[in-house]
Amino acid sequence: MPKRDDAIIRLKGVRKTFNSLVVLEDLTLDIYRGQTTVVIGPSGCGKTVLLKHLVGLLRPDSGSIFFDGADITRLSESELTPIRHRVGFLFQSSALFDSMTVAQNVCLPLMEHGVRAKEYLEQRCREVLRVVGLDGLQGRMPEELSGGQRKRVALARAIALKPEVILYDEPTTGLDPIRADLINELILKLQAELKTTALVVTHDMNSARKVADRIVMLYNGRIVADTTPGGLADVKDETVARFVEGRATQEELNELTYGRASQGSDDEGKDA
């Protein structure tokens, strides 16, 4: 495990609730520079909520979040801007603007940060699209792209500002196994070539095992496992084992028989 000083992101005692639902509970976690940390867990366990906290889209009810030593929970929106400049975010839905071309989507974060030089915008757009294998599609509209291509355009947009950290929200969701593997390869490529730090949230165990240096599992807002991909098999916690193996509990199977969901359903968090 890297030294504590190598943590670019640190969460200390983070708690988040929505109404009476506790989504994150006393979460303490260090994200180390240069590593790909994968956060796994069932729907509703707080994975996406965690990502949104790291860029200030959500604020914790209590606890602190540090980015390179700065407590971002205490920063104003304007003070968060330079932090967000250092972070790329790949949204689960890709979040491309349908009314914009590929080039306009990719260049949007550059323009939002004050870049106006047309020559540089075109050059940078070409560079990042080349990284994801889509140079030449600058004039296409999102509706003309496949699901995998939209993910790759969104990834090109996420790296346009040359971020130090990339956050991936379910990057392989909705893709067939081959297109999903292309995204996995891109995650590995970006870490190797750009020396980025990556935090990936996913329930895709094939993806998790392939890209992770470290795997953290969340369950009911708490960390129940923190290990390497190879170490998952040695984790004795039954909740972890069931998730990794994709094995339902007897209670969940009974729901199919009796048609009544238990009060503690994993889907209550509405966390995509």
At 198-255, the pLDDT tens digits run 999 998 999 999 999 999 999 989 999 999 999 988 888 898 888 888 887 777 777 7
Is residue 161 within 8 Å of residue 109, measured between CB atoms? Answer: yes
Split at pLDDT 50, 70, 90, the class of 13 is: very high
Q: What's the pLDDT at 272? A: 39
Under DSSP, the state recorded for 171 is: T
Q: What's the pLDDT at 114? A: 85
Q: What's the pLDDT at 269? A: 44
Mean pLDDT, rounded, for 53-67? 95
Q: What are the structural domains of the chain?
A: 4-86+163-269 (3.40.50.300)
What is the value of pTM for the model shown? 0.87
Proportion of the chain above pLDDT 70, given as a percent: 93
Mean pLDDT, rounded, for 29-38? 96
Q: What's the pLDDT at 170? A: 92
Is residue 247 within 8 Å of residue 1, measured between CB atoms? Answer: no
- Where do the H-state alpha helices sit in 97-175? 102-112, 118-131, 147-158
Q: What's the pLDDT at 45? A: 85
Q: What's the pLDDT at 174? A: 87
On the CB side of 186, how many CA atoms lie within 13 Å of its CA?
29
Under DSSP, the state recorded for 121 is: H
Mean pLDDT, rounded, for 120-139? 95
- Does the pLDDT at position 97 exceed 90? yes
At 150-197, the pLDDT tens digits run 999 999 999 999 999 999 999 998 889 999 999 999 999 999 988 999
Query: Which residues have CB under 8 Å from 1's CB, separation 6+?
Result: 32
